[in-house]
Amino acid sequence: MASANSAEPRPAYLPDTVQSAVKILVTGPFGVGKTTLVGSLSEIAPLRTEETMTVAGTDVDDLTGRPDKTTTTVALDFGRITLNSRLALYLFGTPGQQRFWPLWEDLSRGALGAIALVDARRIEESFDVLGQLEEQRIPFAVAVNTFPDSPDHPEDELRAALDLLPEVPILRCDARDRRASYDVLIDFVDHLHSTAVLELQR
Amino acid sequence: MSGPVRPYVITGGRSRPSRNVLALESLVATVPGSAPEPGGLNREQQRILTICQELLSIAEIAAHLRLSLGVVKVLIGDLWDLGAVLVRPPVPQAERLPTTLLEEVLLGLRQLR
């Protein structure tokens, strides 16, 4: 029943054999490279979708003179990896700013975990999102996205500055590079797996 | 009318789907031959049935049709109730982080790297 006026290009469908999907969030402050990482990993061109969110006007710093509630739109960029004939993985770029936290409950439900991207030149911009991940009890790893002028902080200094628990891995990546991005994702899932095995043995 | 309308006008004002198991990564496909009378569906529901002739996630449907995620969840919940789509829910979280699932993810990623 394809309609004659349909201007939509044919989507990249999943194989019909896929039975279920899992998801991992990619989060961090604005401009840290979330969409770049998702794009390096995804088998499809990253897609953008939007969610509307009701917020109290007083909490919104870029809308003035509206004391009542208002709605704002949040853009989510995401990608997909078909892992095998039965299972797909979705990667959701999730904004880390505090004002988007009302969306997190829905986004994070069922997620395997989250990769928190940190820009070594401005680590303080990641403090809020790390707190949110801890508060929501979402398993996560920190991935330091390397930019050409990034300072090379030793890991122990970075761990102290970010106030991370010893079990939180600190990974390094260049989000523009497919292989480096895959290594981060594999190391993170490996960490989740080891943690799950340890929990089973307890 | 075909102009813009506020997002939840097309859901009859509802912001929550009839089934709360729907997630961004839930997979949806139209059930062949089950399409209800087109007159009973709104334009967006018909667009969903058209785009879901093969398997896509709710997030992909929303992105391709340029509809908000919340709206798409409500409309797909209705189509599911009507038997017009099949939904493959995300892996149930019977136990937190089942090791076999994570092994499967890891194996897949290592093969693709």
pLDDT in tens, A157-166: 999 999 999 9
Cα B42 to Cα B52: distance, rounded to the nearest angstrom: 16
Tokens of A15: 């194989």
The tally of domains found in chain B comes to: 1
**The CATH fold of domain A20-201:** Rossmann fold (3.40.50)
B46, containing H or E segment: helix B43-51
Cα A153 to Cα B63: distance, rounded to the nearest angstrom: 38
What residues in A contact B99, CB-CB < 8 Å? 193, 196-197, 200
Of A20, A21, A87, the CB nearest to B108: A87
Of A16, A90, A109, the CB nearest to B57: A90
A&B contacts, CB < 8 Å: 149
What radius of gyration, in Å, describes the C-alpha atoms of chain B?
16
Q: What percent of chain A has pLDDT over 70?
A: 89
Using alpha carbons only, what angle is made at residue B71 by residues A28 and B73, rounded to the nearest 5 degrees? 80
Question: Comparing B93 with A155, which gets the higher pLDDT?
Answer: A155
Interchain contact, B24 vs A23, CB within 8 Å: yes
B82 has a pLDDT exceeding 70: yes
SS3 content of chain A, % helix, strand, coil (to 5): 35, 30, 35
* Residue found under tokens 């785009």: B51
Residues 73-112 of B with CB under 8 A from A: 88-91, 93, 96-99, 101-110, 112
Mean pLDDT, rounded, for A24-39: 95
Residue B36 lies in a domain: yes
Q: pLDDT of A51-71, one tens digit each?
A: 887 766 444 444 444 455 677
Q: Which amino acid is residue A89, in one-letter code?
A: L
Tell me what pLDDT residue A146 has: 86
Interchain contact, B112 vs A21, CB within 8 Å: no
Rounded to whole angstroms, what are the CA distances from A20 to A85, A150, B26, B27, B90? 10, 39, 7, 7, 5
From B105, which residue of chain A is nearest by alpha-carbon distance?
Answer: A83
Backbone φ/ψ region at B11: left (φ over 0), alpha (ψ -120 to 50), beta: alpha
Residue B1 lies in a domain: no
What residues in B contact A88, CB-CB < 8 Å? 25, 27, 57
Interchain contact, B27 vs A3, CB within 8 Å: no
**Cβ neighbours of residue B92 under 8 Å, at least 6 residues apart?**
none
CATH number at residue B60: 1.10.10
* Residue found under tokens 């300072």: A151
Interchain contact, A186 vs B89, CB within 8 Å: no
Residue B2 lies in a domain: no
Mean pLDDT, rounded, for B32-54: 86
Q: pLDDT of A97-122, one tens digit each?
A: 888 888 888 889 989 999 999 999 99
From B33, which residue of chain A is nearest by alpha-carbon distance?
Answer: A1
Residue pair A143/A169 in contact (Cβ under 8 Å)? The answer is no
Quick one: pLDDT band at residue A138, thresholds 50, 70, 90? very high
Residue pair A24/A89 in contact (Cβ under 8 Å)? The answer is yes
What residues in B contact A76, CB-CB < 8 Å? 59, 69
Q: Which amino acid is residue B18, in one-letter code?
A: S
Q: Is B70 on the interface with A (CB under 8 A)?
A: yes
The answer to whether ipTM exceeds 0.95 is no
Tell me what pLDDT residue A8 has: 59
Q: Which range marks the domain in which residue B35 is found?
A: 7-112
Interchain contact, A112 vs B96, CB within 8 Å: no
Tokens of B73: 């969840």
Mean pLDDT, rounded, for B14-27: 80
Cα A139 to Cα A168: distance, rounded to the nearest angstrom: 8
Question: Comparing A110 with B34, which gets the higher pLDDT?
Answer: A110
- Residue B24 C-alpha, separation from nearest chain A C-alpha, in angstroms: 7
Mean pLDDT, rounded, for B85-106: 78
Tell me what pLDDT residue A199 has: 86
Cα A80 to Cα A45: distance, rounded to the nearest angstrom: 9
A87-95: strand order across its sheet: A47-56, A69-82, A87-95, A20-28, A113-119, A140-145, A170-173
